[in-house]
Amino acid sequence: MNTDDVLGKAPLFAALDRESAAALRTGISEVELHKGQTLFSEGETGDRLYVVLDGKIKLVRTAPDGRENLLSVLGPSEMFGELSLFDPRPRTASAIALTDVRLAGLGHDDLRPWLTGRPEVALHLLRALAQRLRRTNDVMADLVFTDVPGRVGKALLDLAERFGQRTEEGLRVHHDLTQEELAQYVGASRETVNKALADFAQRGWLRIEAKAVVIMDAERLHARSR
Amino acid sequence: MNTDDVLGKAPLFAALDRESAAALRTGISEVELHKGQTLFSEGETGDRLYVVLDGKIKLVRTAPDGRENLLSVLGPSEMFGELSLFDPRPRTASAIALTDVRLAGLGHDDLRPWLTGRPEVALHLLRALAQRLRRTNDVMADLVFTDVPGRVGKALLDLAERFGQRTEEGLRVHHDLTQEELAQYVGASRETVNKALADFAQRGWLRIEAKAVVIMDAERLHARSR
DNA sequence: TAGACATTGTGACGTACTGCATCAAGGGGG
DNA sequence: CCCCCTTGATGCAGTACGTCACAATGTCTA
């Protein structure tokens, strides 16, 4: 997919008509990262917002004792890093490439005139943040109420919605996460996640592949995860 | 404190000069609730935003099986209910008065012209949402990494920052929450929270009162909670 | 192609937390 | 004013999950 198409799906640009979007794009700088490279780190100052053009990137937070928490996995047309743009404080998470990745970056100064001049841009961003807040509250409730296998199931179904591809076997989700990362994502130990996955596989609900799963029975998985 | 002073501290109004704030206020409707009364419920449609003028109100989510999750406790000059305003979907939480409470309500139509006409209002709201998102991520990390006593300590210190009053004994925090509610807030059972509180009290870090605590050793409490 | 290192798979064991059950205290409503 | 019901306090048994330990793969690189 080309850059224009991907950007067009991002909420930031969806708000604009064709010419405005093109104008906004002139302020954009493209960045490419190889798998494992860090875009920015927790604690740094920064006022750039990014939209994923191709590949996947993860946002991680490191606790003082070194343990890590995976906040989100972002794919094409998804946006991140905007918090430090609206609220000028150091970054609270690091962004690390899960695969080779191509990004569109937009600085505070590039965006500011659009925010002040075109109210619909600000409104779209408000909506995007509101949706994120809703989603985050869901995840919090899951952490409290749902057990680890349930959270693993939910995480897989969520990833499936965004990255899943229909195959004759089922829904293939190439999440590009190690089980360790999946564990950090759902807030559990690697071992427990592994056992949950093994259990699901044994029941025939899914098949485990390297950094991917093929979901064969989304129904059951969903039922188990609620 | 009078209505003007309280509203002046709210991020929504802080963005405006005196006359603009006064103009915006004309769209406001005041609501009064008695302790225990419900302002709105999960699932309802609604496009009103509220600012607490006096008293406290809680936002709760109910899981399908009936268990409840307390999202936040809001006091004077704090804002809530704005998500459904930016993102027109049913409310995802219920708002219930913890004490007798007085609120300022502002509808979608009242606010819209200000959002489109005065970019600084939208920017302030973006900043407010960004801060909330940061905060929510902190809480999520705590749910994963911190044990129940630690979360209780953090919750108390957070409430202390917002509602605490210096006394000769220490910092009195009249949180207006039952231990049951505090438990729903930190994502634990009532019993566990009670034991954590009892333990803190026994160590002399705080004293327990009805729907309040007096923090005598914030240092130690903070150290225990990290 | 071999060796090294990262990732995955699985069991044993300890423990923090939950859920239940019971009891005491206090405060608001009839 | 007294009763009842909410709130707070505490012990105990069951369990889900984390930690540890190790084996079996897979994958990158020299």
Render pLDDT for A152-168 as a digit per residue (tens, 0 to 9): 999 999 999 999 999 98
Distance from chain centroid for Cα A87: 20
How close A160 gets to chain B, by Cα (Å)?
23
Higher local confidence (pLDDT), A107 or B66 = A107
Alpha-carbon distance of B126 to B130, in angstroms, equals 6
Tokens for A154, please give them. 């939910």
Alpha-carbon distance of B87 to B71, in angstroms, equals 19
Q: Which residue of B49, B124, B140, B182 is the best one to mutate when testing the A interface, meaning the one whose CB has the most A CBs within 10 A? A: B140
A132 contacts chain B (CB < 8 A): yes
The whole-number Å distance from A155's CA to D6's C1' is: 39
Give the β-pairing of B94-97 and B38-40. antiparallel
**What pLDDT is attached to residue A132?**
96
Render pLDDT for A203-218 as a digit per residue (tens, 0 to 9): 999 999 989 999 999 9
Judge: B129–A126 Cβ closer than 8 Å, yes or no. Answer: yes
Alpha-carbon distance of A190 to A188, in angstroms, equals 7
What sign does the CA torsion over B4, B7, B11, B16 have?
A: negative
- Please name which of A213, A212, A205, A150 lies closest in space to residue A176, comparing C-alpha atoms: A212
Residue ranges near strand C (C-beta within 7 Å): A 178-180, 190-191, 194-195, 197-198, 208, 210-211; B 147-149, 187-189, 191-192, 210
pTM, 2 dp: 0.93
Higher local confidence (pLDDT), A4 or A43 = A43
The pLDDT-based confidence of A121 (bands split at 50, 70, 90) is confident
Which bases on strand D have an atom closer than 7 Å to a protein beta carbon? Answer: 6-12, 16-21, 26-27
Distant-in-sequence, close-in-space partners of B70: CB < 8 Å, separation ≥ 6:
B58, B59, B60, B177, B181, B184, B185
* Distance (Å) of CA A71 to CA A39, A60, A68, A86, A156: 15, 6, 9, 19, 15
**What pLDDT is attached to residue A40?**
96
Cα dihedral A141/A143/A147/A149 (nearest 10): 110
What would the mean pLDDT of A38-62 be, rounded to a whole number? 95
Out of A56-65, A95-104, B17-26, B211-220, pick the least confident.
B17-26
What would the mean pLDDT of A17-25 be, rounded to a whole number? 76
Distance from chain centroid for Cα A139: 13
What is the amino acid identity at position B79? M
The pLDDT-based confidence of A1 (bands split at 50, 70, 90) is low
For residue A219, pLDDT over 80 is answered with yes
DSSP H/E element including A104: strand A101-107
Q: Which of residues 1-60 of B touch A (CB under 8 A)?
A: none
Higher local confidence (pLDDT), B65 or A90 = A90
Residues in chain A closer than 8 A to B122 (CB atoms): 115, 119, 122-123, 126
Alpha-carbon distance of B81 to B12, in angstroms, equals 13
* CB-strand contact B115/D, under 7 Å: no
Q: Averaged in consecutive runs of 10 residues, what is the pLDDT profile of chain B (226 residues)?
A: 75 72 81 92 93 94 88 94 93 94 92 86 91 95 95 95 89 92 94 94 90 92 90
Alpha-carbon distance of B22 to B13, in angstroms, equals 9
What would the mean pLDDT of A122-143 be, rounded to a whole number? 94
The whole-number Å distance from A192's CA to D10's C1' is: 32
The pLDDT-based confidence of A186 (bands split at 50, 70, 90) is very high
- Residue A222 DSSP code: H
Judge: B86–A141 Cβ closer than 8 Å, yes or no. Answer: no
What is the amino acid identity at position A40? F
